[in-house]
Structure 1
């Protein structure tokens, strides 16, 4: 049970010098950060919109001088040839390489297994554990129990989707009402009850290299083929789109910052964009004027309860503030979606996606109901 050997010193109320000595005294959250080398374990999911976070977080931590192991859920034989997991294998890049070079990182150790099976755990000890895998207590409890009383810092990557929707004040701030039924919330309550030195991060929509879940690609699929872009009405719903490098840099601000313990942070860009704004930005990058068709998912029979079949986002506002992370972690984003769109479109065409078959059957159903034809 290797994770049961996690480092036993707790970080709450104590900061540690670069030489490993405990330093006591009150300090602001930003000034409490001490540069040091920690042994970090990233427990990474095998799919979904968070799978590529592990790779970019590993790069960020290694660049800061930490020792990093990725413990990836899933079957190595089935996943290692797919993005982002295929980037683990090569050791051609230095940990100090710029992020624009999207290869693998020297010094990264990778272990495959199951976070719910102690017998597959990697050898510890580890100072910082990042859980980027679990969504409910059943999938998280074994790892939490193994880390209990051992690691200095337990970081849980949850989801801003646990917030209750608010059409009056749609931007979410830490402390806003959350869904008691959400699996992530149950995990957070367990972390608190068990007394772990935890921090919770709540991501929104993420884009960037090696994503397994479409974001801007959905819009490019249609605009590059001169097809209409069906968008749930009214089209001005605001979303926060965050580059995975910015996500990783916020997560990597935790080691050496014990004052972040027992805190929640929204993990997102500091800008919002509307559905129609995404379409127009993509169209501009392609040199095309998008044909936007606004429709009601409920009326055409393709959605309900804030969801629309075939559309990559919720049909309601989904945005949040990152002010707390800026203020307390000294974090700031390097990316904006509008500045990134030209590169994102180039990546799409470089991958040859414009030549691939796309299933537009849901679009055609919507367009037929709206009496609009491709």
Structure 2
């Protein structure tokens, strides 16, 4: 559902991953988009789907304000005298960061926030619904606090809660973690029996959901889980990544995470638990359904990104090697 009229949008972030895809959709829909960033990254870097014409059109249309959003004085000065009717907060982590923007722009019509499904309190009942309790002790407690602030301030807010995001330009080692090991012909470490169920959503589907809440009266003061339509086991995810890369099925090594003292290092990129949400509310309210199934989405990410770049982070197999040395001696939990 498109907004009723073109909006003058301030996007906090917009030069990485989610923001790059979302800003293009908004510009193509006729909105004026201004990015507020520190100015350290190119404002209109190319994305894999760009043509010369589309990139030139986006570069000409998008505007920029240089300021560090954590610097209150810099933000106030940068926004003084500016008028925006919508904010997309893509990179906010703490409630005070959003509060600063609300103080600087008191006449907003909508504040759209990138939250996280990681804020839910662990439960024996799944999938997570938007009404489930948040966990004030989670590492995403700042997201939870921001949602609570937006509600308390009485603004017209909408919160988007992704699960695991993947796709071209992903700077988090999600699918890339698997692609590195598949490319090197290495065994893939999987905790437990590999039957943990999780959920991933493609970045372009996420951007579309963000766009569809704009000006949508059903989205007023609502939170939405956004991810893929189906769930996948850890073992299944490994096999789908190999298929996306056109590689043989890799060797899976199941290990007991509790048997290895790795400190803060991670031997697997996803949380070792069942973790998935219902996206039914978003589908009903936003006229939104994911375009990508997981197999097609992983193939899109591999072909448009990893196969061309070799990965956005250098492969590091040191933790794998530590676990593999003792994996044969440790029984996988029943």
- Same fold, judged at TM 0.5 (above): yes
Q: 1:178 aligned to 2:134?
A: yes
Q: Are residues 276 and 325 of structure 1, via their aligned partners in 2, closer, same or farther at CA, if it must alter by over 3 Å?
A: same
Query: Deviations for 1:288-324, whole angstroms, at most 9, x for unmatched residues?
Result: 1211111121112237xxx971421111122111110
**Which of these residues, 41, 47, 60, is aligned with residue 79 of structure 1?**
41
Q: Which structure has more helix as a fraction of its residues?
A: 2
Distance 1:250 1:86 in 2: 22
Q: In the alignment, which residue of structure 1 is the partner of 2:250?
A: 290
Q: Are residues 188 and 341 of structure 1, via their aligned partners in 2, closer, same or farther at CA, if it must alter by over 3 Å?
A: closer
**Which of these residues, 311, 327, 338, is aligned with residue 268 of structure 2?**
311
Normalised to the residue count of structure 1, the TM-score between the two structures is 0.78
The offset of 1:125, in angstroms, is: 1.0
- Other structure's SS at 1:253 match: helix
The residue correspondences of 1:234-249 to structure 2 (distance < 5 A) are: 234-249=193-208
Unaligned stretches of 5+ residues in structure 1: 1-29
RMSD: 2.7
Q: Are residues 220 and 172 of structure 1, via their aligned partners in 2, closer, same or farther at CA, if it must alter by over 3 Å?
A: same
The offset of 1:217, in angstroms, is: 1.2
Q: Are residues 185 and 340 of structure 1, via their aligned partners in 2, closer, same or farther at CA, if it must alter by over 3 Å?
A: closer
The residue correspondences of 1:108-123 to structure 2 (distance < 5 A) are: 108-116=62-70, 117=72, 118-121=76-79
- Other structure's SS at 1:302 match: coil
The offset of 1:235, in angstroms, is: 1.0
Distance 1:66 1:334 in 2: 23
Distance 2:36 2:234 in 1: 36
Q: In the alignment, which residue of structure 1 is the partner of 2:173?
A: 214
**Which of these residues, 306, 309, 326, is aligned with residue 369 of structure 1?**
326
Distance 1:197 1:349 in 2: 42
Q: In the alignment, which residue of structure 2 is the partner of 1:55?
A: 20
**In the comparison of the two structures, how many residue pairs are matched?**
318
Answer yes or no: is the 8 Å Cα contact 1:93–1:104 preserved in 2: no
The offset of 1:67, in angstroms, is: 1.1
Unaligned stretches of 5+ residues in structure 2: 330-334
Answer yes or no: is the 8 Å Cα contact 2:94–2:143 preserved in 1: yes
Q: 1:228 aligned to 2:187?
A: yes
Q: Are residues 332 and 357 of structure 1, via their aligned partners in 2, closer, same or farther at CA, if it must alter by over 3 Å?
A: closer
The residue correspondences of 1:353-364 to structure 2 (distance < 5 A) are: 353=311, 358-364=315-321
Distance 1:254 1:351 in 2: 33
Runs of 4+ with deviation above 6 angstroms: none
- Other structure's SS at 1:179 match: coil
Between 223-232 and 120-129, report the one with greater CA deviation.
Answer: 120-129
Normalised to the residue count of structure 2, the TM-score between the two structures is 0.86
The residue correspondences of 1:262-277 to structure 2 (distance < 5 A) are: 262-277=221-236
